[in-house]
Amino acid sequence: ITSYARVHSLAIGERVNLFLAACAGLAYAHRNGVLHRDLKPKNIIVGDTGAVKVIDFGVARLVRGGNGLPANDTATGELVGTLQAMSPEQVSATASEIGTPTDIYALGLILYELLANRRAYDCNSESLEAVIKRIQEFDPPALNTLVPGVSRDLSTIVATCLRKDPKERYQSAGDLAADLNRYLKGSPIRARDPSLVDSLRYWCKRNRLLMAGMSLLAGVLMASVVTITLFALRAEKSRVAAMKERNRVSGMLDFFLDAFRASSPELQGPDTQLRDVLEPAVKDAEVAFASDPRSLAEVQLTLGQTLRSLSALDAANVAVEAAERSMTAPNWPEDSQPEIATKVLLERAKLELVRGNYAGAQAVLAKGIRQAYAIDPRASLYADGLALEAGIYFQLGDLDEAEKVLRKSLALMEEAGDDGDDYSDRLIFLANILFSTRARFQEAEVVVERIVGLEEKRHGPEHPRVARALQQLARMYRVRVETAALVEPIIRQAAELIEKAYGPEHPATASAIAKLAQSLIRSNHLDEAKQLIERSLDIYEKHFGEQHDKTAAAIELLANWYAAGRDYAAALPLQERAVRILRQSGSDDRGTVQNSLITLGGYRAKLGDKSGAVTAYQEVWRVLEPMAVPDSKAAVDNIQSVVLLASLVEVLLEQGKYVEAEKYARQCLDIAENNFDDGHPIWRFRGRVPIVNVLLLTDRIDEARLIVTACRDVFRIADPEHPEWKRIRELEKRLQVADTALREPAL
């Protein structure tokens, strides 16, 4: 058939009509239950009169009734047919997937060659393994980009025949012929190009190794493409407008995929970090989309979101500011969707939140939420704004308001039937509120168990999101005696799932094995823990460099490992290094910096450097003291204040500075009395311990006894088997010893 077309110099329409005759012959075979399985140009003969005949049914098989699958399957693993005419399922030897769509794939190859005068795949210059990989994973160039005169519709018909998934092709030769006839008549065809999400999914599948280092961009990009596509569908007023919108978004997708390719280790070297490629992409976008400010703003916003996820906050801010400028361009389309401007505001608020500028985040977010509500008070954008607002309330310590706003966001999602990944993420946030700051452990546990079920149902039991939910569940189980033994097996299972999904060198794997190492340190399995910590640190340094928060976290965990073995001399320089990295990458106001300084003070104290310990503690207290107001809603910062002040008082007492120690101990007591209700028995107790220690050392036994009694009364509401009861009993024993010593006459 291809030789006939060349010899007779047939036009495109004539070639399609010739091909339709072959479709008719194969359609007859399909209707009679016969699957050809080896269609190729030389098996379609054209006579002198132009009559077309399909021949060589030597490897044909009968088709089962109704489902298009062969009745006498070839054994799996056996390749049947001519390689250059084979479909992906044939070269995979997946017998269960070989059916009439397999013949459609072969017809697509024939039509491609008939129109382009070249094969879709070159099977002669590569190894068998390379050819099979090409057939399974790569698409041939689109015909309308290769052959002048081939329309997009005709190119789409051929591409539909060649889809990798048999279910996405025409299901019979008759269906293919019907669409070709529509094309010839100028009627709308039934075939459609792959969606933008499909295109991204296929590209990611072909580039699994490259994608291993880019899951953050992949996640943001996938979400952005989905959102942009929804906006496009909403805006479609005509086929012309729809095609224009599709081409616009396709250009954006191509830009991002080029960014993926540019960050390939093969091109940039093994030490390349994704942020090193994405930061200049902000400027590159200005050139690529100079005449299209709307697309430019969307690309810049997506780059900003990704850079924020990579903790490149300054670069992220540059990208978001660039997106804002793009929206003020003179050629900005008047009918452009307001969602873009609102999303920019929400991203600005996220950046301020990450930087610790809560007031700035609130101001920007308030405007974004108003705009989102005006667009649609039931839409996901408004729910997103509410979830972000809950995050700000959480950081400000207004836990009641955080829970209230977050539940409103969840309710909107439930009303819309949206129980996807964002819904699970917000449930995890709710569990954190209940667990970390409200001590409503059982409620939190129920929420996380529900999340595990949702993730398993949505993604299957081995998905990394299931692993993340399991990590949260382990956190809940750790506080209860009856479930504490389950923690390490759960964390280990989660780490194995994540490594299986992402590979051994991915940052997500580093995070998972670091969590396992923490659990192993608690159970005194130090040898395995150290191996995991060093591996985690190595991964972080390769992906993020030596001056990144995640690298600092791994270094701090290594210091913790040495401290667990009481080697504080080795722990101290590691902790100092972690603090330096954290301070270089952000404000001292961040909780991570404060926690690291508290730990640093503890190591100094263990090594006898009491003054150095006090200096570290007082640095943190200068940040926390203004927030330590008598407000029961300010539990987040107050928990940190209790930990800090307890450590500071302990060191001051060791130095014999009783007056200064009492000053800080009474501040700690005020926090315990005024900031923690019965929902926080642990912190009401721990906030009282420092003053008890001061009173016992200064022989004020009666006052100490009143506070210890109050500790016991407050903690009665907790589980009697809770480990905190051990601390109370130790405190009571010390009270008894001090009381006895005071009453006994001196020898």
pLDDT tens per residue across span 526-541: 999 999 999 999 999 9
Residue written as tokens 């952000």? 586
* Sequence letter at residue 608: G
pLDDT at residue number 502: 79
Which pLDDT belongs to residue 184? 92
Q: What is the pLDDT of residues 634-669, one digit of tens each?
A: 445 577 888 899 999 999 999 999 999 999 999 998
CB burial of 349-370 (b: ≥16 within 10 Å; e: otherwise) equals bbbbbbbbbbeebbebbebbbe
Task: Specify the higher pLDDT residue, 38 or 245.
Answer: 38
Q: Is 119 exposed, middle or buried (0-12, 13-18, 19+ CB in 10 A)?
A: middle
**For 245-298, how does the pLDDT look when each residue is reduced to its tens digit (9 = 90+)?**
666 666 666 676 566 555 444 444 444 455 666 777 788 888 888 888 888 888
Q: What does the pLDDT look like over 166-184, one tens digit per residue? A: 888 998 888 999 999 999 9
C-alpha–C-alpha distance, residues 705 and 707, integer Å: 5
Query: 338-355 vs 380-396: helix axis angle to the nearest 10?
Result: 20
Report the sign of the C-alpha dihedral through residues 426, 518, 625, 700, in that order. Answer: positive
| 514 closest CA partner among 460, 466, 552 | 552
Q: Parallel, antiparallel, or unpaired for β 61-62 and 52-54? A: unpaired
61 Cβ neighbours under 8 A, 6+ residues apart: 34, 35, 37, 70, 71, 72, 73, 74
For the chain, domain boundaries: 1-193, 660-747
H-helix segments, 170-238: 173-185, 196-206, 208-211, 215-235
pLDDT in tens, 680-707: 666 778 888 999 999 999 989 889 888 8
Three-state DSSP at 433 gives helix
Distance separating alpha carbons of residues 730 and 703, to the nearest angstrom: 18
Q: What tens digit of pLDDT does each residue of 208-237 get?
A: 444 444 454 555 555 555 554 544 544 444
Least confident of 66-75, 250-259, 343-352, 706-715: 66-75
Residue 511 has pLDDT above 80, yes or no: yes
| pLDDT tens-digit readout, 423-434 | 999 999 999 888
CA distances to 5, 123, 211, 493, 496 from 512, rounded to whole Å, are: 60, 43, 18, 10, 8
C-alpha to C-alpha distance for 685 and 727, rounded to whole angstroms: 9
Q: What is the pLDDT of residue 275?
A: 60
- Please give the Cα distance from 150 to 141 (Å, whole number): 13
Query: Which candidate, 148, 160, 161, 154, places its Cα nearest to that of 182?
Result: 154
Q: How far apart are CA 247 and CA 256, in angstroms?
A: 14
Average pLDDT, the chain: 80
Which pLDDT band, with edges at 50, 70 and 90, does 140 fall under?
Answer: confident
Contact between 707 and 689 (Cβ < 8 Å): no
CATH of 1-193, one of 1.10.510.10, 3.50.50.60, 3.90.600.10, 2.40.33.10: 1.10.510.10
Return the minimum-mean-pLDDT range out of 154-163, 549-558, 584-593, 715-724.
715-724
Whether pLDDT at 62 is above 70? no
Other CB atoms within a 10 A radius of the CB of residue 345 amount to 21
pLDDT at 29 over 70: yes
Cα 61 to Cα 30: distance, rounded to the nearest angstrom: 10
Mean pLDDT confidence for 544-573: 94
- Using a 10 angstrom Cβ sphere, with 0-12 exposed, 13-18 middle and 19 or more buried, the burial of residue 630 is exposed
Contact indicator for 578, 551 with CB cutoff of 8 Å: no
Residue 439 has pLDDT above 70, yes or no: no
Q: Identify the band that residue 337 occupies on the pLDDT scale cut at 50, 70 and 90.
A: low
Task: Return the amino acid letter for 220.
Answer: V
